[in-house]
Each structure stands twice: as structure tokens, then as C-alpha cells.
Amino acid sequence: MKRTARLNCFRCLFAFAIAVVSAPALSQTCAAPIEYTYSPVSGNTCNSTRNLPYLANGAIVNGGPDIVYHGYLLSTTSIYAALEGVDNLSLYVCRGPCGTYSTCLAVIDSVAFAAYPTTIYPAAPGDYYFIVGSASGVCGTYTLYLWTPSPNE
Amino acid sequence: MMDCTRWCSGILWLAATATVADAQDCVLPGPFQRQFQNNVTATLSAANAEGPCALSVALKAGGGPLAAGFLHYRRSSPTTSVRYGFRIDSSALANFNLTNLLRNVQLFSASSPVVVGADGSLPWSHLLLIQLAGGNPSPKLVLTAANALGVGGVASQLSIPLTQALNTLRVEINVGVGSAGFVRYWLNTSFNDPPTGTFGNGGLDNAAWIGVIAAEVGVSSPSISFRNDYSGSAIVLDQIESSDDLLLWSDFETLQ
């Protein structure tokens, strides 16, 4: 079976080094996002706060506490994402800079007991922020799966 | 003495399903002889008595993510090539062409007997899963197929824009190594016509999923946005067909 690279291809060790140097262990905001280095990751937004109430210049309202992951896309490619978790969590896939004025490519709502992969394409090179929050304001546990194709795919 | 294995099994199979079939004035379509309902208003009916059933499903307000109404069946062993078709009437979903992908609901799945998960990927058990999703200007049918060569190593996805509210989708699932694994689909055309498209032209390499062991058609796994906006609005599925003729099963005892 052909293996595909995960988002640890996102600026790879360079990004990880930044995270190690600048981010406290529990940082998960735009200022200090969690570097997405390996799929999947799990978390609980109830342990966070609502740092990003608005995205896409206010077009998107995030009603719940949020956790921010960062990755860097080296070339134009598709991103494959799946959010598995409690009902009504939302995954916002946004371009940098991170914050209220991010341009968001996709929003994926979790459905309890069902998780679907979503392909987001094409995605241009650059910084991406994967924000787990909730449009409806709930919080809870989740597992976030992210991949990009390997360069030779 | 005549070997009655097939005949007996067929008779017993009919007996086993008669209760379900008698529950409505129509014939349950093809192999889909079982039904599931939870927190929906669902009807099985036909224009003519004893005609093939049309399934109408509307979510109940506050029904939650497990609100569902669908027909389903399970095979005794997986099949590596099978066809399904059904017509979708989404005309009751007001302004569905002014929404987005967040308004989505599952309409169909054909499942594998195994769950396959590449390292770090979402474990995936569906050879083909079909969702109806909103969109502007075109709502979409979103097909997600098991694909060992896809991004993530388990599945890939394509979207079919819909320009009308009444659409007939036919699919053919083929399971195999490399290019022997592929999915073909027909939108608003017959199986006798050239397919509208082939999912996985280079092959889905879906042999790890073995084959289709079960399938369901109906409404399930509604997203929160769909539940909020379209509870009470019925989706009607009719003209349900399949190449999977199980009438002559010899192992009827698996129909539990």
C-alpha cells in the first residue's frame, strides 16, 4: 500500500523547532498554536477558552472554546481532514495570518458517532491554521485527522 | 428427493421478511428488506398498491445526530462487484441551493466487513458513502470511496453538482487490487448509458476492504446545520434498485 505523508511535511522539523522554542506546553492560540506534526491528535476544547469568537472578518462566528493548530503547506495540494468527536464541534481550516481576519477555506462540523473525511482543494502554499471550536458553542473531546499527499503523489 | 435448499431458503426468507413487507402497502426494494427509524417521520408508500416502496424521511426537530430513517440489508459474504441506484427528491429542502456543505446528510453507504486504517488515518469501513450536501449555486452529492491510494491512505472524495431537485444516481462498486478497484456512477442516466464518471481512474486499490457486506439507503448522520435548518423537511428516495439479488440465498439463517 502506498503511504502518504501527513502534515508533518508542513515545514517539518523547522516548524516543530519553533514550537519547542516559543510555545509553552499548553499553548493553543493564534499567538502560540500547537504545531500539527503527526496525525491524529486528540484534545478537549472544554480545557480551553474562546480566543477566536470571529473568523473570516466576522463572517464566521465561533461560539465555543477553541484550540489552534498550525501547519505549513510547501506546495499547492489538497488537504484531507476529518474531525471525530462530540456532536457539533467545528473545524475551521484557515489561511494565515491567524485571527479574526483569516481567510477560511472550509468549515467541518462533527456529527457524533460519525466522522467523514473531507477533501479541501486546491490549497496554496503557506501557513494554515486548523481551529477546533464550535459554531453552536459546545465543547468536548475530539480527534483531528489531517493529511497532505506526499510530494511524489 | 428434490434438493430443496434454494427453494426452502427462498420460502423461509419470504416468511422472515413478510412481517416487514406487510407493514406497508408496497414492496420493499430489492435486497433492502430491513428498516431502521429513530427520531424521524418516515413513510414507505407507493403510488400503486403493491408497487415498489418510496421512502420519505423527515427529521424530527431536536432529534439529534442519531436521527435516521433508512432501509438496509446485510449479505452472508462480501461481494466484489455490485450496483445500486436510487432517485432523490430534495425539492422539500427550501433554498438548499443557497446553503453550503455544512448542510449535509448521509443517503447511502456500502460497507466492508473490515475497518481499514492507514497509520494515523481515520479508520474507514465504507467502500462507498454518499452524502447530500448544500451548496451555492449547486447542492452536491458527495461520494467518498475507500481508496488506499488516496490522500490519507483510506478514502478519497468527489462532488457531483446538482442542477435540479430530482436526481437519479446509479453507482457500480468494484473491489480489487490497483486499477481493478473502481467506482462508476451515472447521474440521471441509465446503466445502459456510458457512465457519467469513474471514481478512481487510476484505481482505488480497495482490495483491503474485501467487498460489500452490507448497504443502506435513506437518511442518516445529519449534520448540525442540516438538523437546524431542515428538520421537518422530507427527503424522498424511490426507484431503489440493486444488482444484488439475494432471493436465492442458501444461508437464510443469517437474516436476523
pLDDT at B116 > cutoff 60: yes
Claim: this prediction has a pTM higher than 0.95:
no
Residues of A within 8 A of B131 (CB-CB) are 116
Q: Do A117 and B223 touch (CB under 8 A)?
A: no
Does pLDDT of B162 surpass 90?
A: yes
pLDDT in tens, A74-114: 889 888 899 999 999 999 999 988 999 888 988 888 888 78
* 3-state DSSP assignment of residue A66: coil
What residues in B contact A83, CB-CB < 8 Å?
A: none
Give A150's pLDDT tier (boundaries 50, 70, 90). low
ipTM of predicted assembly, 2 dp = 0.71
pLDDT tens-place string over residues B77-95: 999 999 999 999 999 999 9
| DSSP characters over chain B | ----HHHHHHHHHHHHHHHHHTTTTSBPPTT--EEEEESEEEEEE-SSTTSBPEEEEEEPTT--TT-EEEEEEEEEEEESEEEEEEEEE-TTSTTGGGS-TTSEEEEEEEEEEEEE--TTSPPEEEEEEEEEE--SS--EEEEEEE-TTSTTTTEEEEEEE-SSSEEEEEEEEE--SGGG-EEEEEESS-TTSPPSEEE-TT----GGG--EEEEEEEEE---HHHHHHHTT--EEEEEEEES---TT-S-GGG--
In angstroms, what CA-CA distances link B186 with B84, B85, B239?
10, 9, 14
Interchain CB distance below 8 Å, A112 and B65: yes
> What's the mean pLDDT in B43-65?
91
Instruction: Determine the distance in angstroms separating the CA of B64 from the nearest CA of chain A, rounded to an integer.
Output: 9
> From residue B86, how far is each of A98, B80, B108, B146 by CA, in Å?
44, 20, 9, 21
* b/e map A63-92, b = 16+ CB within 10 Å: bbbbbbbbbbbeeebbbbbbbbbbbbbbbb
The three state secondary structure string of A7-64 is: HHHCCHHHHHHHHHHHCCCCCCCCCCCEECCCCCEEEEHHHCCCCCCEEHHHCEECCC
B155 touches chain A (CB under 8 A): yes
Q: Is B153 on the interface with A (CB under 8 A)?
A: yes
pLDDT at B202: 79
Instruction: Work out the mean pLDDT of chain B and round it to a whole number.
Output: 86
Chain A hits for B202, Cβ within 8 Å = none
- pLDDT at site A112: 86
Q: B107 touching A, CB under 8 A?
A: no
Chain A: residue whose CA lies nearest to B148: A1
Determine the pLDDT at residue B247: 55
Kindly tell me if the per-residue pLDDT of B206 is higher than 90: yes
